[in-house]
Amino acid sequence: MHLSNISIKGYKVVNETSTVALHKGLNVIVGENASGKTSIIDAIRLLLREDEFGFSPVSEKDFHKPFTDNSQPADNFFIQGQFSGLSKDDKVTFLPWYDLKEHATLSLKFENKEKYGRYKKQVWGGSSKSSVFEWELFDKINCIYLPPLRDAEAKLKEGKSSRLAKLLKNLEASAIKDAKGNYKLHKLEERFKVFNDEIATSEDFPIKGMNDKISQQLKDAVGQTFGQHTHISFSEVGFNRIAESLRLFFFPGIEEHENKENYRSLDENSLGHNNLLYLATILAELIDSGEQDERLKVLLVEEPEAHLHPQLQIKLLKYLETISLSREIQVIVTTHSPVLASSATINSLIHICSNNGKVNATPIKDTGLDYKVSIKCETHDGCSDITIPESADFLTRWLDTTKSTLLFAKGIILVEGIAEAFIVPQLAKKILKKYNSTNKPKLPESIDEAGVSVVNMNGIYFKHFMRLFCNFGIEDKESANIPIRCSGMTDQDPEKDLDENGNKTIPASPTTANHNFGKNPALNLIATINKSEYCRLFVGPLKTLEYDLAMEGNNIQSMASVLAENWHNREEVYKELKEISEKDWCKETLKNKAEAANEILKRIEDKNMGKGYFAQLFSETITKNSELATPQYITNAVLWACGGKVSDQ
């Protein structure tokens, strides 16, 4: 049994009805700030009566209020959970919630009508509000929450709210009650009672003398009639008080240390390790709860990356995934960490974004990533088709900490290589400045300010990445899409030109070195991609990024200047580049310009330079050169991702 979806309306940042699909095992919810992740977690806590939240009173801030002038809070808020995967025993236990469609539902509604500091509440199971609600069913649900900025030290110290106390009480629940449910003396209580009796009566300890002196002073002060007898002991011997007196100490190593005096208190430990100790206590409480008839165990964790370095984040997430399956605990994690997002399996990721009070939740596994495609090689006779792997497997391998930023962005620009990754963000500043001078509403002044990520795919893998944002190539099947704008930049990659010596002026890329398709295979996707709501693929008009950039305006002059200033050895090359950098290429013929652009491209790809190094150097020039021209396809890619209007190429 697991919580398969949560529907919310009018609660906190959620205005319109929003449904988040969840699955058994590990769920990793990702998305930008203020997208609704915390509202989802709090809604689950409230619905399932999580120990530290479910009994707290609702406040006026829980009713959604739009960020508009003279706005009014919602009249009510509604939360509904659906439970799936019910066993035969689950169906019997939760029969009042069962809807006869292999699901159980639990609904909660609060009216925005305050009376005596509280708001009117309705709770019902199944489809009928009128049926008698059995509150005892919540005893079959164990929901535990770990906040993002948790005070682990305070939670592990002694007291009524101590997690150590709760763990011991859960583990010993059956040991303090008999078969009829009546309280019985626990062996810990017996030992404490013997200890207290011994120190209170023995002449070997000062306790007896203290007690006698206090009693004598009372007798002398108020007399025999009004005096009271006293008894001194170290603690009450009740099981709950014993449990609440427990404290946790640590030693910096996993092996037990023989000398107990070497153990330290938690205030001497690091925040990160205290968080891990706290989480370990929570997991012990969930895994060995002592309740044999618990039907649902849910662990809610907000930002587990708090105070943990990347290696620990990865280790922790993998462990949560393991115990979620082996111990049948549904784990729901929210995170801002690209490290965690890139370490999670594709099937566990759920992307969240918000638009005018509606939360859009997209399970990545539902975006149609299971599609395989074969491309026929038309170059070599008898050559077998090239099979591109499943997109899910591909993205699992490729979504590292840099590429996984696409899961937290407001917009995406997919590029083929490191050169575009360096150059596009700098060109974007010029593009956005020019756009804002003639258009309203204005766009942010940079892609960073716009929350747009440039993702370097290191190849022409648009088919795999863009499947997250649009449907294509899937017959008779609709898939979910992440509802944010995604643009891609790609090259024409025409047949390779040969110079007078028979050398290719544009070397084959690593992805097509053995199979010359004659053109970029990603171009076959444009017709479908560009009809979608969120995706566009923009193509350079000529050859490749550097060549197309050189053919714009007087860019050859700036590019040749950068090459000349940073060229090593071969004096004749330096002189040639210097001459190119001193011409006004706006006045040259198209043929001369193309020859110079080819020369620029040749030198960029020379072993003395390289595309990545040149892009780094040239990106510094972009910010200083106000006259630099930008190819239209780059302009369109930037504007689309940032939410602007694009022009026909």
Least confidently predicted of 41-50, 347-356, 377-386: 377-386
User: How far is 138 from 330, CA to CA, in rounded Å?
Assistant: 16
For residue 509, what pLDDT band results from cuts at 50, 70 and 90? very low
* Most trustworthy range by pLDDT among 195-199, 280-284, 319-323: 319-323
* Most trustworthy range by pLDDT among 55-59, 77-81, 274-278: 77-81
Cα–Cα distances in Å, from 181 out to 38, 184, 240, 434? 39, 9, 16, 76
What mean pLDDT comes out for the span 579-598?
Answer: 92
Position 235 scores a pLDDT of 64
Q: Is the pLDDT of residue 2 over 50?
A: yes
Residue type, 290: G
Query: Considering only CA atoms, which of 293, 299, 330, 288 is closest in space to residue 93?
Result: 293
Contact criterion met (CB below 8 Å) for 425 and 452: no
What mean pLDDT comes out for the span 522-537?
Answer: 89
Tell me the percentage of the chain whose pLDDT exceeds 70: 85
Contact criterion met (CB below 8 Å) for 110 and 49: no
CATH class entry, domain 2-152+294-361: alpha beta
Position 260 scores a pLDDT of 66
Least confidently predicted of 34-38, 175-179, 277-281, 559-563: 175-179
Q: Is the pLDDT of residue 50 over 80?
A: yes
Cross-strand pairs, 30 = 335, 351
Position 613 scores a pLDDT of 93
Which residue would you say has higher pLDDT here, 520 or 429? Answer: 429
What mean pLDDT comes out for the span 242-260?
Answer: 71
For residue 268, what pLDDT band results from cuts at 50, 70 and 90? confident
Position 291 scores a pLDDT of 56
Contact criterion met (CB below 8 Å) for 637 and 489: yes
Q: Is the pLDDT of residue 502 over 60?
A: no
What mean pLDDT comes out for the span 72-91?
Answer: 93
What mean pLDDT comes out for the span 241-252?
Answer: 76
The contacts of residue 585 (CB under 8 Å, 6+ apart) are 553, 554, 555, 556, 557, 593, 596
Alpha carbon 61 to its chain's center: 25
Which residue would you say has higher pLDDT here, 547 or 51? Answer: 547
Average pLDDT score over the chain: 83
User: How far is 441 from 447, CA to CA, in rounded Å?
Assistant: 16
Verify cis geometry, omega within 30 degrees of 0, for the bond prior to 304: no
Which residue would you say has higher pLDDT here, 369 or 122? Answer: 122
Position 488 scores a pLDDT of 96
> Kind of pairing, strands 76-84 and 104-115?
antiparallel
For residue 518, what pLDDT band results from cuts at 50, 70 and 90? very low
Q: Is the pLDDT of residue 258 over 60?
A: yes
Domain spans of the chain, in order of start: 2-152+294-361, 166-246, 387-541+631-649, 546-630
User: How far is 459 from 302, CA to CA, in rounded Å?
Assistant: 35
